[in-house]
A = this chain, B = another copy of it.
Amino acid sequence: MSIDPRVASGLRDVPPSVMIPRERMLATFRETFASFGFVPIETPHIERMEVLTGKGAGSDEVLRQIFEVTNKGGEAGKLALRFDLTVPFARFVAKHVNELGTPFKRYAIGSVFRGERPAKGRFREFTQCDFDTVGTESAVADAETAQVIYASLTAAKIPAFTIAINNRKVLNGLLETIGVADQTARVLRVLDKLAKIGRDRVALELQYAEVSENLLDQFAAAQRIEVTNPQLAQELADSVERLGGLNESPFQTFMSREQADRLLDFVTSGRGGIDVLVPVETALRESESAMKGIENLRAIFDLLISAGVPESALKIDLSLARGLDYYTGVVFETTVNGWEQYGSISSGGRYDNLASLFTDRRLPGVGASIGLDRLLALMEEAGLLKGQSTTVPVLVANFPGVAPTVAFGLAARLRKAGIGAEVFPDPIQIGKQMGYGSTRGHKVAVIVGPDEAEKELFNLRDLATRQERKALPWAELERTVAEALGAGS
């Protein structure tokens, strides 16, 4: 009896057809990050539990999804797999900041682990590509963050995309003005769902307590209705009450419908070019916070334009909240035009104090993360990935009856000339070797039969058209193959 070769639930193997574009994309990101002076670091996949769960407060979500790690002789509950790259980076900076100095610009690419319920397209291990600048409050670092997103996605040949930019301080000023400044965290969480669930639903959730959010989902799903207006919501509330068992009413009112509408009118009108800030500046002129936020947004736009980032790739979006309430300044989200439903493929923002859990030293910073897996899924669905499963364009046949040193030597020459080449290992029937090449996606095959070997000649077959050029001299191998590939690609 064999052991079943399946992977554990929620995990996956990545086959060559996905890995080849993935590696190419990662190489592009690494090069781009590095060209801005971001340096690579690596932290272990395993961290001490205490580091990941903070002071044990407010980390229920994290604790529920965390993978604990133990080994023989080790105590249970002490180690776990990282669930993001931010917490390990905070620990790293706290530990090493004195030797590294600031500003410190790092990138990190690696697997993170979350025990989420397995679902289509969602995995328990996935890759994050993070870059951050710590130790500065400069708008230069803010702008550079957006610039790196732009440069990385452009270099990776992602089709037209838009980087939406907001500043948390503008939102804060707005909430002050409306009179709900004490609800900031809650409002940010709800507002973050605007693109996903629509204005009506967000207005509803802004009015009512957070506890109702999940319940609304559950009841709406159970009753197959959509919560698009207050009346339906009330019906749901009644259902909840009939079932009982809740500590507080899920429909406690947190702000009036009027306040919610004012907030939503404001943020949805603040979408577009830098000019949308003009009326905002007037409306929020009493708020010092909002004025600082607006100044920062203007500085970022100026810097990005000076670096040649096209305005068409940028937009102000005052409704942009980002769920995480540790952002304190600029925030970014990036969507591929026409694929907004995929959500953001690169997000980030500025935080006041990265490593407060680990050090008393205040370390402000700004950074972003590129969602590699989501990006690849999008590109695959958009038909932008070639279904290629070879890394080389040339297959060198291993002709029956010809010394394998011939194919081996010719392939080595091609590689030396910078042309990737694979030698078929076994001298089987040539048709089968060509079939291998066609299936994998090799472009051409170099074939040397016994006659050719004797005369130092080769045949060159185009694996797509099956056309073959015969009796070409070995002396011109590199040039001939390079030309054929140049013409064929």
**Partner-B contacts on A (CB < 8 A):** 2-8, 11-16, 19-20, 22-23, 27, 30, 33-48, 50-51, 54-55, 63-74, 78-79, 81, 91-92, 94-96, 99-101, 103, 105-106, 111, 113, 115, 124-125, 133, 136-141, 143-144, 147, 151, 299, 302-303, 305-308, 355, 357-360, 389-392, 395, 398, 404-409, 411-412, 415-416, 420-427, 436, 439
Contacts and interface: CB of A to CB of B under 8 A. Distances in A.
Given A66-B71, A358-B5, A14 B34 contact: no
Nearest to A355: B5
30 contacts: A4-B358, A6-B95, A7-B44, A13-B92, A14-B41, A15-B41, A19-B39, A19-B40, A33-B391, A35-B392, A37-B395, A37-B420, A39-B390, A45-B113, A46-B113, A68-B71, A69-B69, A69-B81, A70-B70, A73-B115, A133-B425, A137-B426, A138-B426, A140-B404, A140-B407, A140-B426, A144-B423, A303-B408, A306-B409, A306-B412
A67 to B, nearest CB: 5
Contacts of A67: 46, 69-71
Contact of A43 (B13, B47, B406): B13
Contact of A307 (B13, B147, B305, B412): B412
A404 B359 contact: no
B45 A45 contact: yes
Contacts of A406: 306
Contacts of A36: 392, 415, 420-422
A41 to B, nearest CB: 6
Given A42-B13, A72-B63, A408-B306, A5 B359 contact: yes
Given A47-B7, A140-B408, A68 B66 contact: no
Nearest to A418: B35
B37 A19 contact: no
A15 B100 contact: yes
Given A68-B69, A422-B105, A8 B47 contact: yes
A45 B296 CA distance: 42
B46 A303 contact: no
A441 to B, nearest CB: 10
Contacts of A63: 72
Contact of A140 (B14, B66, B425, B439): B425
A484 to B, nearest CB: 18
Contacts of A136: 425-426
B44 A421 contact: no
A274 to B, nearest CB: 14
A139 B92 contact: no
Contacts of A101: 436, 439
Nearest to A70: B68
A258 to B, nearest CB: 42
A3 to B, nearest CB: 5
